[in-house]
Structure 1
Amino acid sequence: MGTWDIGPFDNDTAADFSYRVDSASAEKKADVLRTAFREVTGTGDAYLDADLSMEAIASAALVAAQCPGGEAVTTSYGPKEPLGVLPVELRAEAVAALDRVLAEPSELLELWEESDGEEWKTGVRTLRGVLAGG
């Protein structure tokens, strides 16, 4: 899985995703995040690939960093370039994506449940709470 910890950027997929965010022009950075959310929510009841989930969680962390109570993304695996002010409507899309990540059938959820994934799930739920404003 290329994962070394439970944080949003503590896996190879999210670190690679950061490069994609950095590579986007200033005007397109929000679109990169929105696409990550929509790829997850667009799966409906189909099996959700872990890589899509990891990108959505990383995107959600970037959006949450601009919310009241959000934590700055300070890891060296996150984007290096500033994101600018992100559209507020991304918060609802991020919440929907995180809800989908935590719902079956989800490969990332299954992988974490094979180990002690409660701490990971708590982190995702905390991130969701920041995005939902509570």
Structure 2
Amino acid sequence: MGTWDVGPFDNDTAADFCGGLDDAAAEEREGLVRAAFTSVIDTEGYLDACEAEAAVAAAALVAAQCPGGDPAYSAYAPGEPLPDLTGLREPAVRAVDRVVTEPSELLELWEESDAAPWHAVIRGLRSALLSSATG
């Protein structure tokens, strides 16, 4: 696992996902974010870490546009403008919930180390997504 830290953009897959958003035409970016969620939500069996990492990064991009969400400040976050993604809060929450539900490779990998900081990041994302959805 090419993980550097606990942040949503702190792994190779997230950096590649964000680079793909930058490379995509502006009108395709929302669809790519939605696809990252759909891929994870539709997985009934074992969830691959790469899919989960992309979904967490995508959720962080949505949360960054929500009140109370942390800005997507990272050298690996997209540099190109993103459309309004706040309409994707519900699938973002569903995807994050799936990432932390067994069977999930990313969850297993974090549970093998000190998972508390990573879980705190996930709770923060979820909180920002939910508070804006209900507020």
TM-score over 0.5 (shorter chain): yes
For residue 122 of structure 1, what is the aligned residue in structure 2? 120
SS in 2 for 1:89: helix
Superposed displacement of residue 41, structure 1: 0.4
Q: Deviations over 1:36-77 (max 9, x none)?
A: 000000002x00000000000000000001101111111111
The unaligned stretches of length 5 or more in structure 1 are: none
The question of 1:23 aligning with 2:23 is answered yes
User: How many angstroms apart in 2 are the aligned matches of 1:73 and 1:126?
Assistant: 13
User: How many angstroms apart in 1 are the aligned matches of 2:104 and 2:15?
Assistant: 20
Identity of aligned residues (%): 56
Q: Deviations over 1:75-130 (max 9, x none)?
A: 111111010322x3300000000000000000000000000111101210110110
For residue 70 of structure 2, what is the aligned residue in structure 1? 71
Structure 1 consecutive aligned stretches of length 4 or more whose deviation exceeds 6 Å: none
User: How many angstroms apart in 2 are the aligned matches of 1:36 and 1:84?
Assistant: 16
Question: Which of residues 112, 125, 134 in structure 1 aligns to 2:110?
Answer: 112
Higher helix share: 2
For residue 102 of structure 1, what is the aligned residue in structure 2? 100
User: How many angstroms apart in 2 are the aligned matches of 1:7 and 1:92?
Assistant: 21
The question of 1:3 aligning with 2:9 is answered no
Superposed displacement of residue 19, structure 1: 0.9
The question of 1:83 aligning with 2:93 is answered no
The question of 1:33 aligning with 2:33 is answered yes
Specify the code of the residue in structure 2 equivalent to 1:61: A
Q: Deviations over 1:11-49 (max 9, x none)?
A: 0110011111111111111100000000000002x0000
Specify the code of the residue in structure 2 equivalent to 1:74: Y
Specify the code of the residue in structure 2 equivalent to 1:81: E
How much is the aligned-residue C-alpha RMSD, in angstroms?
A: 1.0
For residue 12 of structure 1, what is the aligned residue in structure 2? 12
User: How many angstroms apart in 2 are the aligned matches of 1:96 and 1:49?
Assistant: 16
